[in-house]
Structure 1
């Protein structure tokens, strides 16, 4: 009985904030590669089955967003593109491409940190999941660790602007 109890306790410790912290680690990895710092994890039955960090620049692939990378790895790991009952945690609100991929993958729940005020397609602009023509429904939970997720992005772009300014001054 103690095994079940400790397993239950371990699962209870894995809150949405816990999973978002895992995504934040991947966002940091993206920043270290000079990519926009976005990270994502796909979770099924209390385990990460897919991880992704933003990588369009170094992968030379416009679709290499964190969400897409995490979905690809998750689908490969369970040998099925339908990720029914899986959750995706991502540090930034998905764009239209990524929101579409979430629908096609049949993700059950989306948890995101910061809103993407320029191109967010879930709550900020298109609200893709609320369109009547969609044949799948994704539950959305926003604002998970929003301040930390937003700060990672702000710090990245602040550093990038500073580097650009220094570069111009050296010319």
Structure 2
């Protein structure tokens, strides 16, 4: 189940405030998509992430495990590390939002819990390894000492198209290399 953290049914939130939040979410997700494209230029799977607190970008990053030779260098982890460095604290303040173009995996979800991210907004669903909604549904687990809200599917078509295009190009390159061999 996806739990939107901007609940229009909450009597404390006006429609105008909800609309403002939604437009901000779209703007930040588009920014995360641009960051993801940077990673693709280096042959990395195009996933981008941005950590925002009260409208201020604290950290951003794209997938870079290949170029850094670091299997933990997923976009979410890179963005959270940079946000923590910005604040000089391993815990992020209440209200931090992570925008990421792909549903987080188990490793990334664990980092989000430890960093105390309050909200996650993701683009494309990850049917194979998505730990937030698609497979494990980790936010629903009661045993965590921190809980976060999740909104999935924002600009999912754009996120999915970016990923599909990347893998299509990669397959074409492999076929071309095989044909030349």
Same fold (TM over 0.5): yes
Q: How far, CA to CA, are the matches of 2:33 and 2:119 in structure 1?
A: 18
Aligned partners of 1:86 and 1:108 also within 8 Å: yes
Q: What TM-score do the two structures reach when normalised by structure 2?
A: 0.86
Runs of 4+ deviating beyond 2 Å: 11-14
Matches within 5 A, 1:1-171: 15-83=24-92, 84-171=94-181
Aligned residues: 162
Unaligned 5+ segments in structure 2 are: 1-16
Unaligned 5+ segments in structure 1 are: 1-7
Q: How far, CA to CA, are the matches of 2:174 and 2:44 in structure 1?
A: 15
Q: How far, CA to CA, are the matches of 1:126 and 1:97 in structure 2?
A: 12
RMSD, matched Cα: 1.4
- CA 169–58 in structure 1, closer or farther in 2 if over 3 Å, else same: same
Aligned partners of 1:86 and 1:107 also within 8 Å: yes
Q: What TM-score do the two structures reach when normalised by structure 1?
A: 0.91
Q: How far, CA to CA, are the matches of 2:139 and 2:22 in structure 1?
A: 29
Q: How far, CA to CA, are the matches of 2:127 and 2:77 in structure 1?
A: 20
Q: How far, CA to CA, are the matches of 1:31 and 1:12 in structure 2?
A: 29
